[in-house]
Copies of this chain bind each other. A is one copy, B any other.
Amino acid sequence: MLETTVAAIRPADEAAMAAARELHGRLTKPAGSLGALEELSVRLAGLAGVCPPPLPEPAAVAIFAGDHGVHAQGVSPWPQEVTAQMIGNFLAGGAVVNAFARQAGASVTVVDVGVATPLPTEPAAEPAVRDPAVPRLVAASVRRGTRDLTATAALTRDEALAAVQTGIRIADELIDAGAGILLTGDMGIGNTTPAAVLIAAFTGADPLDTTGRGTGVDDPTYARKVAVVRAALARHTPDPADPLGVLAAVGGLEHAALAGLILGAAARRTPVLLDGVIAVSAALAAAAFAPEAVCAMVAGHRSAEPGATVALRHLGLDPLIDLGLRLGEGTGALLALPVVTGAVRVLHEVATFDSAGVVEK
């Protein structure tokens, strides 16, 4: 499944991109006056292979949740149970991601790929007709949290592959159900530590530049976190040409699943709007599997986590929003969604100089 997905990912369609650029020149606005939105709409035309590309509607957020053996090293001040408790919050509609999803009209799918502690809610039987406004829980646990990456590989290759394939499957299900754009979300106490290792592994950057304060750790915890990232790289010497091996050695289950989601979206020529540092660390893995997967990626925002900027630079992506967010869950991607939709809408709805009777300069 991973192999056929990777094989299905194609480069951007140059003709559709040229058509979008040409159309922009005829719309009733000064050339280039929509700044980054113009190039974004051109990229999405290239992804879809048609101009204008379809409006990215409806939107579906997929939140992959997992726990981390490295939590035992004291890299986070939050107890591990908070991962499961926040899943309860997501399903009850009480988290920030829910508020933003309601506002954006996006569905929320929570996928347990490896939560360590019992979930407060069991997955309900699917009703015949689902209300997209009600968050859904998918049970797809590979194991109850990763192993401690400072002591051993976090996952076996088979476990990492299972998580990647879950991500691909969720992408397919959401797109089959009609989603026009996928948004990445994540939940996992301690998951900025594996993200920092992944970003260092794929970009070659120093752990000091890829490690941040996550939910807001103090100085001693931060120093410990950087040391953990450095030790993990030294122990595993992950090979960026072997993304499955990197994900297994130093990843998290949600990171692996997100890489799969991104690959699945790219294979279906559907845009995937990236949230913060967890998403972009997974995007590096996806790009290592299939470089052309970058064509499907839109960087929603620049997380306050420094590793996010390192990863975005490596991917060649400019984020749409830069407001110092560091919450995760998919919140930054949801804030950026109207910008993506607006960029595409311009190609659908704005009059040309000719049709509007406006003279050109």
A349 to B96 alpha-carbon distance, docked (Å): 8
Query: Do A28 and B351 touch across chains, with their CB atoms under 8 A apart?
Result: no
Q: Which residues on B sit within 8 Å (CB–CB) of A339?
A: 321, 323, 335
Q: Chain A: how many interface residues by the 8 Å CB criterion?
A: 63
- Is A30's beta carbon under 8 Å from chain B? yes
Residues in B with CB closer than 8 Å to A95 are 28-29, 350-351, 356
Q: Given the complex, which residues of B lie within 8 Å of A351, measured CB to CB?
A: 89, 92, 94-95
Whether the pair A94, B359 counts as a contact (CB closer than 8 A) is: no
Asked if B89 contacts A358 (CB within 8 A), the reply is: yes
| Chain A, range 290-346, C-beta contacts under 8 Å to B | 304, 320-327, 331, 334-335, 337-339, 341-342, 345-346
- Interface contact A356-B92, CB-CB below 8 Å: yes
A103 touches B (CB below 8 Å)? yes
A103-B341, A345-B99 known; A94 and B325 CB under 8 Å?
no
Chain B hits for A99, CB < 8 A? 342, 345-346, 348-350
Q: How many copies does the complex hold?
A: 2
Given contacts A96-B34, A104-B338, A216-B31, whether A86 and B358 have CB atoms under 8 Å apart is: yes
Pair B89/A28 contact, Cβ less than 8 Å: yes
Interface centre among A79, A81, A100, A104 (most CB of B within 10 A): A100
Contacting residues, chain B, for A35 (C-beta < 8 A) = 304, 323-326
CA distance A35 to B302 in the complex (A): 11
A156: B residues at CB distance < 8 A: none
Tell me if B323 and A355 are in contact (CB < 8 A): no
Question: Which residue of chain B is the closest to A361 with respect to CB atoms?
Answer: B77
Interface 1/0 per residue, A85-116 and B, CB below 8 Å = 11011001011101110111000000000000
CB distance from A5 to the nearest CB of B (A): 32
Q: A325 → chain B, closest Cβ, in Å?
A: 5
Q: For window 161-204 of chain A, which residues contact chain B by CB distance below 8 Å?
A: none
Query: CB distance B216 to A326 under 8 Å?
Result: no
> Chain B nearest CB: distance from A344 CB in Å?
10
Query: CA of A99 to CA of B55 in the docked complex: distance in angstroms?
Result: 12
CA distance A350 to B34 in the complex (A): 34
Q: Are B28 and A325 in contact (CB under 8 A)?
A: no
Verify if A82 is at the interface (C-beta below 8 Å from B).
yes
A102 to B345 alpha-carbon distance, docked (Å): 10
Partner of A342, one of B30, B100, B342: B100
A37 interface residue, CB < 8 Å from B? yes
Please pick, from B96, B98, B345, the residue contacting A100 in the complex, using a CB distance under 8 A. B345
A94 and B216 in contact, given A35-B323, A99-B349, A326-B33 (Cβ under 8 angstroms): no
The chain B residue sitting closest to A339, CB to CB, is: B335
Residue from B34, B355, B359 within 8 A of A325 (CB atoms)? B34
Q: Distance (Å) between the CB of A90 and the closest chain B CB?
A: 10
Q: Within the complex, what minimum Cβ distance (angstroms) separates A319 from chain B? A: 10
Q: Which residue of B lies closest to A89 (CB)?
A: B356
* Nearest 6 interchain pairs by C-beta: A35-B324, A94-B351, A30-B215, A77-B361, A33-B327, A36-B323
6 A-B contacts (beta carbon < 8 Å) = A28-B86, A34-B327, A35-B323, A92-B351, A100-B342, A335-B338
